């Protein structure tokens, strides 16, 4: 059967996903003020993961290198990692609290290019979920700019 | 040598965060509802805190002569929920070698003995 198109949001619903996709879209892009302010977009959902995107913005640049700042990647990765746990847990009222996030910076971002971040839940234990994700320029998923990993405490 | 104030003024993203130089070499992330992550609890977004701690580390190195310092990795632990109030970061140089500096960054709000987040990372200098 595979993914089905959600009329209200235009998102593809992964097979088996029972979440309200309107709520997922709201949490990804609207109710989180930091991401509403940055203009974070929800690009895609997987059964255990998400892809977020951010268009180039010259006010989010690091003077060294002239591309989007490390902090922008960290903020996007943190959010995507947390959302990936929610998708994986697949329970409306059961997100989690991020305990820690590590970001490895492979390369400087290029000026005038946006970024995409894809995250997936790697393992869920009783109380903790483990997630990993990567940041890359659109259309260049193989050229990883940064890699993020996080531990997320699930709600009991 | 460039000061932290000048480095903040020159960098769009640090200005976007509203960073400012604090007392005794600290960096301050001023309270801003734009940085809320969880609207049901009105606490700061962990991603913004991670970005802030990494920025504090980079600023510290750039202000001490490594003007092109590049983060290799930075790991942040969120110790407690951080309400929307000023957050202060203090950088400790664990070791500064010829190529790589290892930093620890502590972040607190009203009480310096109650950390809200702590980070450690390495930078190419």
pLDDT digits (tens, 9 = 90+) for A107-149: 999 999 999 999 999 999 989 999 999 999 998 999 999 999 9
pLDDT digits (tens, 9 = 90+) for B20-73: 999 888 999 999 999 999 888 899 999 999 999 999 999 999 999 999 999 999
Report ipTM (2 d.p.).
Answer: 0.96
CB-based contact B13:A61 (threshold 8 Å): yes
In this predicted structure, what is the pLDDT of residue B9?
A: 95
Which residues 18-47 of chain A have a CB within 8 Å of chain B?
31-35, 37
Question: B76 pairs with which residues across the strands?
Answer: A101, B119
Angle (nearest 5°) at CA A76 between B36 and A117: 155
* Helical packing angle, A70-89 and A21-29, nearest 10°: 160
Q: Cβ contact (<8 Å) for B74 and A103?
A: yes
Residues in chain A within 8 Å Cβ distance of B48: 34, 71, 75
H or E element, residue A76: helix A70-89
- Is pLDDT at B1 greater than 70 in this prediction? no
A101 touches chain B (CB under 8 A): yes
- pTM, two decimals, is 0.97
Helix (H, G, I), strand (E, B) or coil at B30: coil
User: What is d(CA B119, CA A43) in angstroms, rounded to the nearest whole number?
Assistant: 30
CB-based contact B114:B108 (threshold 8 Å): yes
pLDDT digits (tens, 9 = 90+) for B75-86: 999 999 999 999
């Amino acid at each position: 059967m595979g993914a089905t198109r959600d009329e209200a949001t235009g998102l593809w619903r992964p097979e088996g996903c029972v979440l309200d996709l309107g709520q997922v879209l709201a949490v990804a892009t609207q109710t989180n003020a930091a991401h509403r302010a940055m203009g974070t977009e929800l690009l895609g959902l997987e059964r255990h993961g998400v892809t977020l995107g951010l268009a180039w913005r010259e006010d989010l640049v690091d003077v060294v290198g002239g591309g989007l700042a490390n902090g922008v990647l960290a903020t996007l990765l943190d959010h995507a990692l947390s959302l990936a746990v929610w998708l994986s847990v697949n329970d409306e009222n059961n997100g989690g609290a991020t305990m820690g996030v590590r970001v490895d910076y492979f390369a400087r971002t290029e000026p005038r290019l946006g970024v995409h971040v894809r995250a997936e839940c790697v393992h869920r234990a009783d109380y903790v979920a483990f997630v990993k994700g990567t940041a890359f320029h659109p259309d260049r998923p193989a050229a990883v700019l940064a890699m993020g990993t996080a531990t997320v405490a699930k709600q009991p | 040598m460039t000061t932290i104030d000048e480095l903040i003024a020159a960098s769009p993203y640090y200005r976007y965060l509203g960073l400012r130089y604090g007392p005794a070499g600290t960096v301050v992330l001023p309270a801003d509802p734009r940085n809320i992550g969880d609207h049901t609890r009105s606490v700061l977004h962990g991603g913004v805190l991670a970005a802030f701690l990494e920025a504090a580390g980079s600023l510290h190195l750039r202000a001490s002569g490594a003007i092109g310092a590049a983060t290799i990795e930075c790991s942040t632990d969120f110790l407690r929920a951080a309400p929307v109030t000023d957050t202060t970061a203090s950088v400790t140089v664990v070791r500064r070698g010829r190529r790589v500096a290892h930093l620890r960054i502590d972040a607190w709000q009203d009480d310096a003995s109650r950390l809200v987040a702590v980070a450690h990372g390495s930078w190419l200098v």
